[in-house]
Chain A
Amino acid sequence: MTAVQRIREVISGLFMFIGALLLLTDPEYGYLLVVYLLAFILLTMGIRKLYYYFTMARYMVDGKESLYIGVILFDFGALTGSLTDIPKFYVLFYLIGIHAFSGLVEVLRAREARLQGASSWKFKLIHGMVDLLMAIICIMFINEGSIAVLIYAIGLIYSAVLKIISAFRKTRFVYIQ
């Protein structure tokens, strides 16, 4: 990693940490923040996809796909932001999905790294197991809305810590063929 990338990782980690603290301070307000954050992310993804279509993908074979996906994402984001009262149940499902999926990917990567003889497999495995554990906790507390915020905040803190740690790690590849 270059110096610039490391600084960017640290700053990004700090922002995530601050976001998590804000969520923990006020779970009820924080819950709304989670919803609006999701809406914002989806809107941004939609706009980026549309921008990508108009600047790049329209010149590509079957490039219209980007246009259609961008419009759907934008609509999804706008819909999410406009719903006045989303049952926390659904937010929890979304969080469970994200944590479970990313946890599974990390566990599979850890397996691959271990097969390659890389020492970083332990790090990946722990990361994956933590994400899966968070998903399980979400399911256990599915009927309690403020838990959604708590778990999301913990997830943010965890990711923030990992980002900052990885920023200070030596960039070495220790996978041995």
Chain B
Amino acid sequence: MSEKEKEALVRRYKSNIRLNGRYYIFFGLWAAVRSFMMLTLDDSILKEAFAEMEVEEAIRGFVEFFVIVVLILIMLCILAIHFFVGISAIRYSRGKSKNRIFLLIAAIDIIVIVLSVPNDFPNGIRASAIAAAMVDITQVIMLGNMLYSVIRIKSLTEAAKE
């Protein structure tokens, strides 16, 4: 492989990391918006869940509020993870950071997403379920591509040094 080809490959992989980082943030935001839309526009989801809770009537209101707060906090945590991984990837691609913790989180996230794909089909194969699965699979590809790109850059730059 010529020097020019190696340089082009390194550029490609850096660009991949940057793009994947950016869109991982975007996907995180979309997940938050999606969850918000589902919970507020289709309140049957929460209503059914609350109806199944065996709680005293006196504190039902407080418990429901607490559940909503916890859900919001979970969404924010997920969003924060997306931002951390995304921003770290962008900084890494621009050479502004050598920190690779984000890759560990990305690897864990891949496993979590793969395991959660069956949960996208609670009511069988429907358009919304297929769409949700597509989002999950795309995120797996995104994160996988990010990991692969980092590994490839490392091997190409080390080969160049030799």
Listed in ascending order, the chain A residues whose CB lies under 8 Å from chain B are 43, 61-62, 64-65, 67-68, 71-72, 74-75, 77-79, 81-87, 90
Docked-complex contact B131 and A65, CB < 8 angstroms: no
* Binary flags per residue of B137-155, CB closer than 8 Å to A gives 1, else 0: 0100010010000000000
Would you give 27 A-B contacts (Cβ < 8 Å), ordered by A? A62-B19, A64-B19, A64-B20, A64-B23, A68-B23, A68-B138, A71-B134, A71-B138, A74-B131, A74-B134, A75-B134, A78-B127, A78-B130, A78-B131, A79-B34, A79-B37, A79-B128, A79-B131, A81-B127, A82-B127, A82-B128, A83-B38, A83-B41, A84-B42, A85-B42, A87-B41, A90-B41
User: Which residue numbers of B lie inside 8 Å of A, CB to CB?
Assistant: 15-16, 19-20, 23, 26-27, 30, 34, 37-38, 41-42, 44, 126-128, 130-132, 134-135, 138, 142, 145
Question: Do A86 and B41 touch across chains, with their CB atoms under 8 A apart?
Answer: yes
Q: Which A residues are CB-close (under 8 A) to B138?
A: 67-68, 71
Tell me the dominant secondary structure on chain A's binding face. Answer: helix
Number of A-B contacts (CB under 8 A): 61
Beta-carbon contact of A71 and B128 below 8 Å: no
| Bound Cα distance from A75 to B27, whole angstroms | 11
- B68 → chain A closest CB, angstroms: 18
Residues of A within 8 A of B135 (CB): 71-72, 75
Shortest Cβ gap from A81 to chain B (Å) = 6
